[in-house]
Amino acid sequence: MSGVGGTSLQGALTTLLTVAARAGVAEDVARAEALSLAAALAESAPGAPADWAAVTPGAGTQDFFDAAVRGRRWRGAPTAVLTDLVAQGSPEKVPYAEALAEVASAACSLGEPTMRVIGNASVAAAAQLQAAGARRLEASGALGLLSAGSTGAAGSSAGAGTSIGAAGVGGGAAAVASAAEAEPAEPERTVEELLAELDELTGLAKVKREVHRQVAVLRVEKLRVEAGLKSPTITRHLVFTGNPGTGKTTVARLVSGIYKALGLLSKGQLIEVDRSELVAGYLGQTATKTAEVVASAVGGVLFIDEAYSLTAGELGADQYGREAVDTLVKEMEDRRDDLVVIVAGYPEPMEDFIAANPGLASRFRTTIAFEDYTDDELTDILSGLTEGADYELTPNALDEFKVILASTRRDRSFGNGRFARNMLEAAIGRHAWRLRDVTAPTTEQLRQILAEDLTDEELTAPLPEQPDPAVQPDPAVPEQPEAVVPEEPEHEQGETA
């Protein structure tokens, strides 16, 4: 396993665990999170499982891919621990984000990194740094992985480039420690500040109105209780419906902070899970596993994505899922004063999920629908992601993205915001490959994403086919004109000949 930017995955883990210890984060939690992030970023790199397992005692190939599944959600969003540190206003949030950025950088050294891995790492590092309010990435980070002398699709560098992490080349514990000393604890954010951040999100007009309405209702309810007035019990749990990539997790994270600012939650962290993190391998173990997950979310929001997977098939057919749901309902009741649960998924399946258990129907009374983004909104999202990663889309690149959007099929599998993020990840890799032979690129070259970086087309035109020198035309035979093949009549789409 080669170093990238002067650090390896083991070195990045060491730095991360140093920060985690200062922040009071359990070592096993921080290690598991970092390894999942690294696996998710390097998932497509040949040989990555073996390199990853080398720093994970007792782990094998399947463990690598299991970790990758858990870590995919952090490719474009802050990790669970970082989210908690930000919610607490911890002075360790920036050092921890920088340490995660180093983990992202080190993930590029796993196996033989592809252009996709480089793009993944750049975007993931930017997401961690932005969430903590840290300084941006170095734009040359991805290019450093493709420095002179590299080989293969994306090459393997011995560490001649700049680290993706914001702590600088070979950041290490010393750099992170100095950053921690300079970072004072921040005051907690107000409801108004969090609502302003919500309003700044691209699109989601109906979602914003509903969240504002919920905040107004809950604020008045709290004031009435404090004044000794009677007030009906208003459930705070929510159902988010919509296609993938429509901002549900982002809004859930803001809702958690808003509820804390309102005094309805004690911590304001967001714990994001799916079926695999609630259901165990045997009956009886699922209740314990679900209860432990809920306990970790107390004081904040438990966000369950694709919650209907817990009640798949006919009602009651999935004993494991039913056990998880029964436990969830009980825990929601026992911890109702300091826990909010948000369940999310496609609209129709979510209706079936809520109807599957009377306890769910009585607790989830508010549904917020997330609509698909328009082309203009997706263009804004791509521009924002690009700026956050310290790159710049040229006007031609923006036009090319709009052309791609116009030709992309929109169905339930369309990723919305994830589509834009995936486009950027791939573009960053192509950008680095395009500049691989440029010895001293300018800052403008390091930042600009061109139209050609958004497509899989070859960067150089194919050479014209050369005639076989062994076959010489007979000068005595006149050249015959090519036969003209009549074109078949055109048909409208869906019409048959």
Over the stretch 250-262, which tens digit does the pLDDT of each residue have? Answer: 999 999 999 999 9
- Residue 387 placed within a domain: yes
Residues in a beta bridge with 242: 370
Over range 266-281, report the average pLDDT.
88
Query: E strands within 77-152?
Result: none
- Do 394 and 262 share a domain, yes or no? no
- Do 312 and 325 share a domain, yes or no? yes
Backbone φ and ψ for 4, nearest 5 degrees, come out as -125, 120
The pTM (predicted TM-score) of the whole model is 0.74
Residues in a beta bridge with 392: 448
pLDDT in tens, 299-353: 999 999 999 988 865 544 478 888 899 999 999 988 988 999 999 999 889 998 8
Please tell me the predicted confidence (pLDDT) of residue 477. 45
- Do 387 and 316 share a domain, yes or no? no
Query: E strands within 400-487?
Result: 448-449
- Do 221 and 359 share a domain, yes or no? yes
Please tell me the predicted confidence (pLDDT) of residue 497. 37
Confidence of residue 111 (pLDDT cuts 50, 70, 90): confident
Give me the percent of the chain exceeding a pLDDT of 70. Answer: 78
- Residue 151 placed within a domain: yes
Angle at 81 between CA 29 and CA 263, to 5 degrees: 130
Is residue 264 classed exposed, middle or buried when 0-12, 13-18 and 19+ CB atoms within 10 A define those classes?
Answer: middle
Backbone φ and ψ for 65, nearest 5 degrees, come out as -70, -35
- Do 22 and 153 share a domain, yes or no? yes
Cα 162 from Cα 177, distance rounded (Å): 20
- Do 36 and 67 contact (CB within 8 A), yes or no? yes
DSSP tag of 42: S
Cα 432 from Cα 377, distance rounded (Å): 27
**Residue-number span of the structural domain to which 277 is assigned:** 204-370
Confidence of residue 357 (pLDDT cuts 50, 70, 90): confident
- Do 313 and 391 share a domain, yes or no? no
- Do 28 and 158 share a domain, yes or no? yes
Please determine, for residue 5, whether its predicted confidence score (pLDDT) is greater than 90. Answer: no
H-helix or E-strand spanning residue 446? helix 443-447
Give me the percent of the chain exceeding a pLDDT of 90. Answer: 40
Residues in a beta bridge with 341: 302
- Do 260 and 191 contact (CB within 8 A), yes or no? no
Total domains in the fold of the chain? 3
Is residue 387 classed exposed, middle or buried when 0-12, 13-18 and 19+ CB atoms within 10 A define those classes?
Answer: middle
Nearest to 145 by CA among 136, 134, 154: 154
- Do 123 and 75 contact (CB within 8 A), yes or no? yes
Residue 144 neighbours by CB distance under 10 Å:
23
- Do 144 and 259 share a domain, yes or no? no
Backbone φ and ψ for 254, nearest 5 degrees, come out as -70, -40
- Do 152 and 276 share a domain, yes or no? no
Nearest to 385 by CA among 419, 414, 415: 419
- Do 310 and 174 share a domain, yes or no? no
Confidence of residue 457 (pLDDT cuts 50, 70, 90): low
Q: What is the largest CA-CA distance in the chain?
A: 111
Please tell me the predicted confidence (pLDDT) of residue 191. 92
DSSP tag of 72: G
Please tell me the predicted confidence (pLDDT) of residue 136. 55
Backbone φ and ψ for 385, nearest 5 degrees, come out as -65, -40
- Do 365 and 386 share a domain, yes or no? no
Please determine, for residue 180, whether its predicted confidence score (pLDDT) is greater than 60. Answer: no
- Do 385 and 315 share a domain, yes or no? no
